[in-house]
Structure 1
Amino acid sequence: MLKEGIIRGGKGFYGQPIGILMLDAVVPRMPGDIGNGFTFNFPVRYKVVKGAPGTKIIFSKDPSLLQPFIDGAQELEKEGVRAITTSCGYLALFQKQLADSVHIPVFSSSLIQLPMVARMIRSDQKIGILCANSTTLSEEHLEAAGISNIPVVIKGSENTPAFYNVFPTNGDKLDYYACRDGVLKMVQELLEEHPEVGAIVCEGSNFALFRPHVQEITGIPFFDIVTLTHMVYRAVAPVEVLGGCL
């Protein structure tokens, strides 16, 4: 609500509450992907972190990449966003440093949902993690996301070429139907191998594109970076924008 009719400025533009730090990548991004603005029913602001392709994030823990992401987060904060996320779950490794670098919420990875999801399911169930590569998602990533004593099982996409040869390895051509079927097979194999899985949390941001199909086929709760972004938006958007429905 306006107080005394005074409106203060100070920024070049307004109305983009969520900032998204994007990898320097060429992968196709359809609606449903974190990197497509039509995925959201609210405005988002993108910033590409130059020199940071997914291959360098996924397959190496290069500390020199931290500062460019900090710079990008600080730029987004100055531009007026109210919360910041990224397009790669492996950036959980930088969660603490990114959060400490700005004065607004940062959720670097869908993995930070793991403690919350663990409290939602039965104590004798586990969380299934879908990730880009099961050999490179380390204990360090999980610890940086705040995971302690949470039973998880990990399924990587390295044996799903329609997905792996595009998103983790920065390919520029997507066979959507083959990729969809490959992800569904990943999930079905995960559930067959581990029937104790009670929910799925995606490290890989691009798995969000296939959430409707996974939920339709399996009915299992499916948490990804897009569902998390919608939740955070509801927490930071002005009440008047939300229509006073909070």
Structure 2
Amino acid sequence: MKAQLPRSLGIMNLERGPTPPKPRLGNMLNPATFDFPVIEETVEGGWADAVVRGDAALEPACVAAAKRLVERGAVAISANCGFFIRHQAAVAAAVTVPVVLSSLLLLPTLLRQFPRSSKLAILTADSTNLGEDLLEIEKPDDRARIVIGGIEGGALWRNEMRRPPVPTTSAEIEEDVRACILRLRAAHPDITAILFECTGFPAVAAEMRSLTGLPIYDVNTLCRMAFTSAA
């Protein structure tokens, strides 16, 4: 009789090199982040710089990684970079479990949770590559409520763009994210919630909630929902 595989959250991971940085608490690959099992499969060729800029040639590797995860017992699939959302449709069509490759999928729901007079801030690793096609917000009134800030040029961005990436300290991530939030709130005092696109940001989510007093959503929010809802 074939052994029953444990129900797990499957994560399509970036290429990380021979000695990947140790995931900190809050990172989706740290076993202590979730109260359910997590498994991962590397997307072949999926270096962060290629995923962020939108290399279309990665799509078959994304589908292959997702299928391997399902074979290993994944009941829901996410990804260790919000820019994998470009491959959301292809991966969802290739497997029979819920697929949530990016926190950006939360956008329509979040816009309806808060007054129409308020704004929602998206914090991303690279705002220069976060185009309108990734937001998929059709109504002009909804799009006007979204403001975007990026940490491109900061320590985390520089380190992750390398092949292989090098570790970034929690203090460096917090500095990058804090500065971005403060810039956005100075320009848009009507921000009432924040969405982290980058999967590296949840490691400092608690500190940023304390700083801002605002609700902060991230990929971990979406992963918990997808896993607990899966059959």
TM-score (norm 2): 0.90
From 82, 91, 94, the equivalent of 1:89 is 82
2:179 and 2:55 map into 1 onto residues whose CA distance is 32
From 3, 6, 26, the equivalent of 1:15 is 6
Q: Greater shift after overlay, 34-43 or 86-95?
A: 34-43
Q: 1:58 to 1:72 in 2, by over 3 A?
A: same
SS at match of 2:28: coil
Q: Is the 8 A contact 2:8 2:73 kept in 1?
A: yes
Correspondence for 2:36? 42
- Give yes or no for the alignment of 1:119 onto 2:112: yes
Q: Deviations over 1:24-69 (max 9, x none)?
A: 124442111112222112111111112111110112x221100000
Q: Is the 8 A contact 1:58 1:168 kept in 2?
A: no
Structure 1: where are the runs of 5+ without partners?
1-8, 238-246
Q: Deviations over 1:109-148 (max 9, x none)?
A: 00000001011011111211111111111111112xxx32
Correspondence for 1:197? 191
2:57 and 2:102 map into 1 onto residues whose CA distance is 19
The structure whose Rg is larger is: 1
1:28 and 1:134 map into 2 onto residues whose CA distance is 26
- What code does the residue aligned with 1:63 have? A
Q: Is the 8 A contact 1:205 1:225 kept in 2?
A: yes
Note the C-alpha offset of 1:187: 1.1
1:199 and 1:168 map into 2 onto residues whose CA distance is 28
Give aligned pairs, total: 223
2:90 and 2:70 map into 1 onto residues whose CA distance is 15
Q: Is the 8 A contact 2:82 2:103 kept in 1?
A: yes
Q: Show the 5 A alignment for 1:1-246.
A: 10=2, 12-25=3-16, 26-59=20-53, 61-143=54-136, 147-149=137-139, 150=142, 151-159=145-153, 161-169=154-162, 171-236=165-230
Q: Deviations over 1:141-178 (max 9, x none)?
A: 112xxx3222311101014x222222355631323213
Q: Which runs of 4+ in 1 moved over 4 A?
A: none
Q: Is the 8 A contact 1:21 1:46 kept in 2?
A: yes
Structure 2: where are the runs of 5+ without partners?
none
1:229 and 1:106 map into 2 onto residues whose CA distance is 9
Q: Is the 8 A contact 1:89 1:111 kept in 2?
A: yes
Note the C-alpha offset of 1:216: 0.8
1:112 and 1:73 map into 2 onto residues whose CA distance is 18
Q: Is the 8 A contact 1:88 1:205 kept in 2?
A: yes
Q: 1:28 to 1:194 in 2, by over 3 A?
A: farther
Q: Deviations over 1:94-120 (max 9, x none)?
A: 111111111111001000000010110
- What code does the residue aligned with 2:138 have? S
- What code does the residue aligned with 2:95 have? V
Q: 1:111 to 1:168 in 2, by over 3 A?
A: farther
Q: 1:195 to 1:35 in 2, by over 3 A?
A: same
Q: 1:168 to 1:112 in 2, by over 3 A?
A: farther
